[in-house]
Amino acid sequence: MTSATVSLTLYSPFDGVVIPLDKVPDSVFAERMMGDGLAIHPLSDTLLAPCDGVVTALHAAGHAVTLRCDVGVDILLHIGIETIALNGEGFTAQVQEGQRVTVGTPLIAFALDRVALAARSLATPILVVDGSSPMIVMRAEGRVRAGERLMTIEVGSPVGASDQDDPCDALYSRTIAIPMRHGIHARPAARISAALKPFSARVTLHNGARAADARSSVALLALGARRGEMVRIDAEGPDAQAALDALCDLIDSGMGEADPPGSAPVDMELPEMLGPPDADVRAGALRGVRASPGIAIGIAHRLEPDDRPIQHKSGSTAEERAVLAEAVSNTRDHIAALAGEGSDIQRTIMAAHLGILEDPVLLEGAQCLIQAGFSAGYAWHRALMDQVAVLTAVDDARTRERAADLMDLDRQVRRAIDGEPRGERTLPDNTILITDDLLPSQLIELPLARVAGFCTAKGGPTSHVAILAAGMGLPSLVAMGPAPLDIANGTPLILDADGGWLEVDPLQSRVAEVSDVIAARHRQRAAAQRDAEIPCRTADGRRIEIFANLGSVADAEHAARQGAEGAGLVRTEFLFLDRQSAPDEKEQHAVYQAIANALPGRPIIARLLDIGGDKPVPYFATAREDNPMLGVRGIRLALQHPDLLECQLRAMTAVLPAGQLRIMIPMVSMVDEIRQVRALLERVVDAVGMEQAPQLGIMVETPAAAATAGLLAVEADFLSIGTNDLTQYVLAIDRGNAGLADRVDPLHPAVLRMIQLTCEGAAEHGRPVGICGGVAGDPDALPLLIGLGVTELSMVPTMIPEAKARARGLYQAAARDLAEAALRCSDAREVRALARAFEGGVRR
């Protein structure tokens, strides 16, 4: 395919640093809605003509100009982002519309410092705004001087036939639904960018008109992709196909955030509630949005914003690079330490922050600005604020709230640059903190023993700081507007986060009333916690073990505090995911031992590696399967890698005291699989000279396993039903399919029949049956499952006290009657209605 082409060279309109268009913090430019080209971060203060031509448009606000080049192409030069809001202040046009110019003619003079401080970004797009799709065949990179070659454009050329024919640069594309409950938020974004590390392909995600470089978790956040939305993934480059497959598999998997069946979180109803303030009180009370529940009485204390001045001027580029690298590295170490010592929630949030610190868009953005002569502090701040601007423009509250994480890292890294020591603040007792906004790191640094709660003018209920506060049990209200900022330090307050009120300077009688409610709650919680430690038996004396599902050592510690009587499922995959190679025996053993130590004297059921299917591991080469959920996953995959399996068995058998750790095989569908694992286990046991092999049990996750439970129970020491997978296989509904989520209910009578078959088969050989799928923690399900014959329930740790209380009030005969009735129901909805109406056997 040939046609006549004309080349046009554009010369840089000022000194500056070239920025790829997709890094410009404005989707109109980043997504090339106006045209293709590049952007420059200016370092000189006059915009010069990049080519010969005629000024066809000069914007009234003086910040943008369009030239018609002599070859007939239109070029737009737009100084900064959202500079239209300056209404011409700081800009002085040097030309008029219709004027002919040659390369280097001054077009617009501008006050660089003034515009820099007021603009959202100084990035200046230089675009070919021509409908005939001219092709840009050269783009400068890095630092450029005014008048240097910037871009070469071929006009009239067909769209690069040779490029399209090159198989190396073929574009692979797929459209996929987002199954994650909260869409692509910080954690999935970090995992997507991490999953692409082994590949060199350029991968872009498109959500409607928005596009994002998939290696940048910040850019991914700005996509605002929500659950159920269709996202197009484009991959280009030599390993594009493999990168695309890996990414689709990862997203398809739901990353542990697709709603598993029956796992809807249950809010524990607290009977002792504070009544709403009456009209008089309400008149002086301030409204807020609950970020974390609870009620507190305390005194106001303002936390002033951490506005630290920024030094623009810098040392040499090398010095500023070193300063930034050291500050980022210090911050990373600090966050990694917080991740190690905190709760599971804190660990997850800190992991997301560590991912942001590695974000290529931020790091490159800051490097470009340092290169351009700015200080490390300014470069870091500006790079982050550009992305904050992108996130806050997204029409999704959750994504906007992620901007707080960037602001947090801005603050932390700049604090490290300033060499400011980290230390706890001093606060009065019973402080109710009043602040414009609170960042996760600020909350973690507070002397929590003195803090009764907090209120923020800004923020949102799904921010990371809200999640952290909920994990700490700290009542808090957010999005209150500026009103609380006027409250004087030391003013008495009642913070009713449950009701969404902040009562300012309440009457003594009201304080007394609220104090009584708080005291009653404490008594109730203390009783629940006390009872949570007591072994669980039904009202008529049947022992029911209430275990915890674990995915980390921190989970095990948390589970112990919730009264877990053991671990019914340790998902050992957590050790294998999000890394470049498998953990060795020593590392595995250390973690399994730490989990056992956290739950001393209690059984730990550790599942053998369950990857493949919905849980791909990047370093584990698996052939592409059309139907991975029905493919080489779970034990099928492990048996194909006996070295890996043996390594894990060795690490598990070495856990002391012997017998505490039990081993569980995932995804069993035939007897032979148990026999093969047992043979390998016995070899390991012989080799280390153990007297007795640990118990070896199986997960019942396939209809085949449920239907042949009697045969499997001959070989297995215990059975544990994985209702998440069992439900998807019984109902033939993908557990991650958001569109069918309301139909994939484990209380469907067909699934209940499988549970019944499993219990009957196991009972023939005296084997215990547990449940470790999400339904184990479902209050509707508990009496039913016990009625079907299950004697162990393993769940999310926080659900344990409630589950124990519920089981304690249960009579078995009534539970059996309920189960029988449920088996005769026609669908899950009917079963749930029956379960909710079930009063007979349960003392409420």
Buried b (16+ CB within 10 A) or exposed e, 718-728: bbbbbbbbbbb
Site string for ligand PEP, 688-707 (x = CB under 6 A): -------------x------
CA–CA separation, 78 vs 81, rounded Å?
A: 8
Given 204, 572, 724, 758, the residue binding ligand PEP (CB under 6 A) = 724
Told to judge if 772 belongs to the known catalytic residues of this protein, a careful annotator would answer yes
Eight-class DSSP state of 706 = H
| Least distance in angstroms from the C-beta of 725 to ligand PEP | 3
Residues that bind Mg ion (CB under 5 A): 701, 722, 725
CB 40 within 8 A of CB 200: no
| Least distance in angstroms from the C-beta of 471 to Mg ion | 26
Eight-class DSSP state of 133 = -
Among positions 597-616, residues that touch ligand PEP (CB under 6 A) are 610
- The one catalytic residue in 353, 464, 558, 748 is 464
CA–CA separation, 132 vs 154, rounded Å?
A: 11
Given 127, 652, 772, 828, the residue binding ligand PEP (CB under 6 A) = 772
What are the structure tokens assigned to 180, written together?
A: 């994650």
Which partner, Mg ion, ligand PEP, none, binds residue 414 by CB below 5 to 8 Å per kind? none
CA–CA separation, 598 vs 554, rounded Å?
A: 9
| Least distance in angstroms from the C-beta of 724 to ligand PEP | 3
| Least distance in angstroms from the C-beta of 662 to Mg ion | 17
Residue 95 or 605: which CB sits closer to ligand PEP? Answer: 605
Which partner, ligand PEP, Mg ion, none, binds residue 249 by CB below 5 to 8 Å per kind? none
List, in sequence order, the alpha helices (H) in 93-228: 112-118, 161-165, 186-195, 217-222
| Least distance in angstroms from the C-beta of 680 to ligand PEP | 22
CA–CA separation, 191 vs 185, rounded Å?
A: 10
Residue 331, interface with ligand PEP (CB under 6 A)?
Answer: no
> What are the DSSP E strand ranges found in 524-585?
545-550, 567-571
CA–CA separation, 598 vs 559, rounded Å?
A: 9
| Least distance in angstroms from the C-beta of 113 to ligand PEP | 56
CB 378 within 8 A of CB 484: no
Residue 544 or 726: which CB sits closer to Mg ion? Answer: 726
Told to judge if 464 belongs to the known catalytic residues of this protein, a careful annotator would answer yes
Which position has the token pair 């980043």? 30
Q: Which stretch binds ligand PEP (CB under 6 A): 117-125, 190-198, 677-685, 718-726?
A: 718-726
Residue 593 or 724: which CB sits closer to ligand PEP? Answer: 724
Total H helices, total E strands in the chain: 28, 34
Residue 187 or 615: which CB sits closer to Mg ion? Answer: 615
Amino acid identity for residue 583 in this structure: P
Which position has the token pair 């129970």? 713
Pairing of strands 769-771, 792-795: parallel
| Least distance in angstroms from the C-beta of 688 to Mg ion | 29
Pairing of strands 476-478, 289-292: antiparallel
Tell me which residue has its CB nearest to ligand PEP. 722
Which partner, Mg ion, ligand PEP, none, binds residue 746 by CB below 5 to 8 Å per kind? none
CB 692 within 8 A of CB 659: yes
Question: For 435, how many CA atoms within 13 A lie in the half-sphere containing its CB?
Answer: 17
Residue 294 or 797: which CB sits closer to ligand PEP? Answer: 797
Among positions 454-473, residues that touch ligand PEP (CB under 6 A) are none
Given 231, 470, 569, 730, the residue binding ligand PEP (CB under 6 A) = 569
**C-alpha gyration radius of the chain:** 31
Site string for ligand PEP, 504-543 (x = CB under 6 A): ----------------------------------------
Residue 778, interface with ligand PEP (CB under 6 A)?
Answer: no
Residue 572, interface with ligand PEP (CB under 6 A)?
Answer: no
Residue 233, interface with ligand PEP (CB under 6 A)?
Answer: no
Residue 478 or 795: which CB sits closer to ligand PEP? Answer: 795
Helices 397-417 and 317-341: crossing angle in degrees, nearest 10, is 120
Residue 812, interface with ligand PEP (CB under 6 A)?
Answer: no
Residue 694 or 736: which CB sits closer to Mg ion? Answer: 736
| Least distance in angstroms from the C-beta of 464 to ligand PEP | 25
Eight-class DSSP state of 835 = H
| Least distance in angstroms from the C-beta of 315 to Mg ion | 55
CA–CA separation, 345 vs 640, rounded Å?
A: 35
Which partner, ligand PEP, Mg ion, none, binds residue 723 by CB below 5 to 8 Å per kind? ligand PEP
| Least distance in angstroms from the C-beta of 705 to ligand PEP | 11
In 3-state terms, the chain is what percent helix, strand and coil (to 5)?
A: 40, 20, 40
Residue 722, interface with ligand PEP (CB under 6 A)?
Answer: yes
Eight-class DSSP state of 365 = H
Bridge partner residues of 566 (DSSP): none
What are the structure tokens assigned to 728, written together?
A: 């998807």
| Least distance in angstroms from the C-beta of 773 to ligand PEP | 3
Given 321, 400, 571, 662, the residue binding ligand PEP (CB under 6 A) = 571
Residue 431 or 723: which CB sits closer to ligand PEP? Answer: 723
Which partner, ligand PEP, Mg ion, none, binds residue 773 by CB below 5 to 8 Å per kind? ligand PEP
Q: What is the DSSP string of 582-637?
A: ---HHHHHHHHHHHHHHSTTS-EEEEP---BTTB--TTS-----S-GGGSS-THHH
Residue 442, interface with ligand PEP (CB under 6 A)?
Answer: no
Tell me which residue has its CB nearest to Mg ion. 725
CB 488 within 8 A of CB 500: no
CB 79 within 8 A of CB 44: no
Residue 288 or 773: which CB sits closer to ligand PEP? Answer: 773
Residue 666 or 789: which CB sits closer to ligand PEP? Answer: 666
CA angle 134, 139, 143 (to 5 degrees): 150
| Number of residues engaging ligand PEP in binding (CB under 6 A) | 11
Residue 628, interface with ligand PEP (CB under 6 A)?
Answer: no
Residue 611 or 661: which CB sits closer to ligand PEP? Answer: 611
Residue 566 or 722: which CB sits closer to ligand PEP? Answer: 722
| Least distance in angstroms from the C-beta of 696 to ligand PEP | 18
Q: Which stretch binds ligand PEP (CB under 6 A): 432-440, 461-469, 534-542, 716-724?
A: 716-724
Among positions 725-744, residues that touch ligand PEP (CB under 6 A) are 725
CA–CA separation, 493 vs 839, rounded Å?
A: 41
Residue 216, interface with ligand PEP (CB under 6 A)?
Answer: no
- The one catalytic residue in 51, 69, 647, 772 is 772
CB 375 within 8 A of CB 313: yes
CA angle 782, 787, 792 (to 5 degrees): 60
Given 121, 538, 653, 723, the residue binding ligand PEP (CB under 6 A) = 723
Order across the sheet with 285-287: list the strands: 285-287, 501-504, 492-496, 295-303, 431-435, 451-456, 476-478, 289-292
Torsion of CA 458, 459, 461, 462, to 10 degrees: 160
Residue 637, interface with ligand PEP (CB under 6 A)?
Answer: no
Residue 438 or 712: which CB sits closer to ligand PEP? Answer: 712
| Least distance in angstroms from the C-beta of 166 to Mg ion | 42
Residue 568, interface with ligand PEP (CB under 6 A)?
Answer: no
Given 224, 298, 373, 773, the residue binding ligand PEP (CB under 6 A) = 773
The residues annotated as belonging to the active site are: 464, 772
Binding-site ranges for ligand PEP (CB under 6 A): 260, 569, 571, 610, 701, 722-725, 772-773
